[in-house]
Structure formats: structure tokens, C-alpha cells
Chains A and B, each alone.
Chain A
Amino acid sequence: MYEFDFERPTSVADAVAALGTEEAQALGGGQTLIPTMKQRLAMPAKLVSLTGIAEMQGVRRNDAGELCIGGGTTHATVAREARDAYPALADLASHIGDPAVRNRGTIGGSLANNDPSACYPAAVLGSGATVVTSNREIAADDFFEGMFTTALEDGEIITEVRFPVPEAANYQKFEQPASRFALVGVFVARFSGGVRVAVTGAAEEGVFRWHEAEKALSSDFGPGAVEGLSVSADGMIADLHGSAAYRAHLVGVLTKRAVAAAAG
């Protein structure tokens, strides 16, 4: 690892200021960034730890009934504290990595990183959540811009994520056998106004919405509705752990299972 300066501000404002310098980078839980730095694939001159910022912590409901999660909230906290308000989200959080990773890794870090196999992007896109940053609000549909790319600008911090709470939802994660990240993950959420289906792990472009399934499910929310549907293998990730066709197939299977679980 290369040497860097380390700062641990206690407010978002101070963090933004600290990130204003050249080659400065935010440090959330470090569960992605630290291994990357060990491989010397990242070499920030300054790391700005966000863990000391109280205003970025915690799970609460706002007046609009949205579930608001501070950008620095750990997966473990979400798993625990969102359990009653948004069980599908809590369940997703409780299956990210392992307990020690969940005790450090944060929702903000996960979204900023936008790993194509990460879990949270499916929940955020599948819920139509709003990503709140140090200077604006970004709709989920505008946030994810492809593998490891997001709408975030340099130095912009995710301070909160606001989830509209669906009537029913479920996340199905099919684990890659080695990393245990999602080989494919499907998040299905039914709102009064329609159904959203978000798929992670599968596509080279990262998380995406499966519009065809959304349409079918919006008129008939049951596993039967997606029975005959399939996604194209074009643009799907193909690697040691599964071909594009396999991933495309899993999208169908997992969507059906997520609907069955959510409907049941």
C-alpha cells in the first residue's frame, strides 16, 4: 500500500472540504477500498474517513414515509434496524459478505463503488430510491452508469439513501461460489403504482431494470406472470463462474422465486 494522509472529520461539511484536495478519496467501511489499496490498484494521497460523521449514521423514517439510511450506515445496522420497516432490504443487507464485513461496510461505499455484482444497487434501483449526496439528490434511475461508474462527481459524498417502502418485496441472491458476491441477484418490489425488477451481477453494464418483467408483474403479481419471459444473453457477463446464457437463465429463475417469496 502507498502512504497517504489520513483525516477523520466529524461533519459532512468538513469531509467535503477535506475531499477538495487533489487525489483525496473518501473512506467508508474500507471493505472494498482497503483490499484495492493493498493490491496497489488505488493510490489516494489522502483518505477521508467518513466513519466519524454522526449525521451520516442510522436508519429512520421521514415524513414522506421513506426509509432513510445514512450513507455511513453499516450493512449490519441496516440488517438490524430496517427489519420491521423494510424486511426485504434488511434481508439483503444481512446477506452481504460475512458478519465482519457487514460490521464495517457501508451503504454509501457500496453504491459509490457500484460493483456489477454488488447487492445494494439492486435494492436502490428496484425500490426507485433517491441517493442523497453532499450537494444534490439523484434518482436511482439516474445514479448507476455502468460497471463501477456512477453519477457521483469527484469529492461528492453519499450522505443518505431514501427508500420508498413497497407493499411487498424480495431479493434473491445466487452466490458466486468463490467470492460469494451475487452471480446474479434480483430485487423485486411491488408498489401501488407498479412493480420494479432490478437485476445485479448479470450484466456487463451493471445493475439494470428488467422492464418486460415489470410490465407483466404490474398486471399480475405472481410467479406465473414471468414464466415465459426471458432476458437476452447479449451483454451478460461471461466468466469462469457462468456463461452469459447461464446468467440470463438465472435472471428468470430468481425473478420467479423473488415474486413467489414476495407474494407468499
Chain B
Amino acid sequence: MPRVTMTVNGKPVSGEVEGRRLLVQFLREDLDLTGTHVGCDTSQCGACVVHVDGHAVKACTMFAAEAEGADVTTIEGIAAPDGTLNAIQQAFQDHHGLQCGFCTPGMVMSAAALLAENPKPSEAEVRDYLEGNICRCTGYHNIVKAIMAASGQDVNAIAAE
């Protein structure tokens, strides 16, 4: 079996993988990073979103072998080393942007990618960016609010509009 080597959450990792091993399987099963979830098999739900070389990708739609040499960040890797939540994670808690938590890792990783590209997104931009992240619990209200709050905007005023 070919060997892959990559950096995951700042740590070098490597493993033997079959060609068909998906990145999400490598993360969940080989590295025991079970924060990245699988919610579908048609690449639509976004529960599996991670960052590969700084870009949001669906880890269920990429082979582990394709991440050779890449820098991968998962939900486990974004809080401070002492466990302090980052601004997006904190905003999700403050604004109740999660219920069952299953879509949450993908939501947070997509939100992080959005804010990196667009530090002050409008409501419409947030909603548009989340096209590939399905949440069944929240009706999206508090997710959108949380992301806008994480970008430093006064969300209570916006949501009351």
C-alpha cells in the first residue's frame, strides 16, 4: 500500500493507505480525529469540511493520497492549545449556532474559510457561502448570526431587521 505523509493540525502524520481511502476515513479511522463527520455519500452535506492548504474542501470527496504533502486543518485543530475556543467557535456557543452538533464541525470550518476570504460578509453572503453545508436542527438563523458576530458585526440589530 502506498504511504502518505501530510501535516494535520500542525503535526506531521503518515500512514499506509489504499488508493480508495478517503481523506475523511484517514482522519476519522487512522488518526482517530472523529470530529470530522460524514453525513452523506453524494458530496452535498458539508459535515466533512476541513481545510487543505488553507482551502475548505469536502474530506469525503478527496482521496487521502491526494493530500500527500498537504497541510490539513480539522475542527480539532482550531481552538487554542489551552482549549480556549477561537472566535468562530465562541460565537457559535454565544449565539446558539448548534443543536445536535453533527453539522457543526463542517459549519465552523466553512465559516472560517469564509471569514478568511471575506472578513465582513453580509447576511446574503453568509447564506450563499453555506450552500454546501446542511443543518437540519437550527433553521440556520443562529448559524448565520454566529458567523456574522464572529466577524465583529452587530448581529442582534441585523437579525431583528
What is the chain A residue whose CB lies nearest that of B129?
A99
Q: Contact between A101 and B68 (Cβ–Cβ < 8 Å)? A: no
Is A73 an interface residue, CB under 8 A from the partner? no
Contact present for A104 and B132 (CB under 8 Å): no
Does B19 contact A6, Cβ atoms closer than 8 Å? yes
Tally of A interface residues using CB under 8 Å: 27
B131 close to A104 (CB less than 8 A): no
Q: List 18 A-B contacts (CB under 8 A).
A: A3-B18, A6-B63, A30-B63, A34-B43, A34-B61, A35-B41, A35-B61, A37-B20, A49-B66, A76-B55, A97-B131, A98-B130, A98-B131, A99-B110, A100-B49, A103-B55, A104-B57, A179-B44
Q: Are B58 and A100 in contact (CB under 8 A)?
A: yes
B84 within 8 A of A: no
How many pairs of A and B residues are in contact by the CB < 8 Å rule?
76
Chain A residues touching B, majority SS: loop
Q: Is the CB of A100 within 8 A of B57?
A: yes
Nearest residue (CB) in B for A98 is B132
Given contact pairs A35-B41, A38-B41, A101 touches B19 in the complex (Cβ within 8 A): no
With CB as the reference atom, state the residue of chain B lying closest to A178.
Answer: B44
Tell me the B residues contacting A by CB distance below 8 Å.
2, 18-20, 22, 41-44, 46, 49, 55-58, 60-63, 65-66, 68, 110, 113-114, 129-133
Contact across chains for A1 and B68 when beta carbons are under 8 A apart? no
Chain B CB count within 10 A is highest, among A2, A37, A38, A103, for A103
A104-B20 in contact (CB<8A): no
B66 touches A31 (CB 8 A): no
B67 to chain A minimum Cβ distance, whole angstroms, is 10
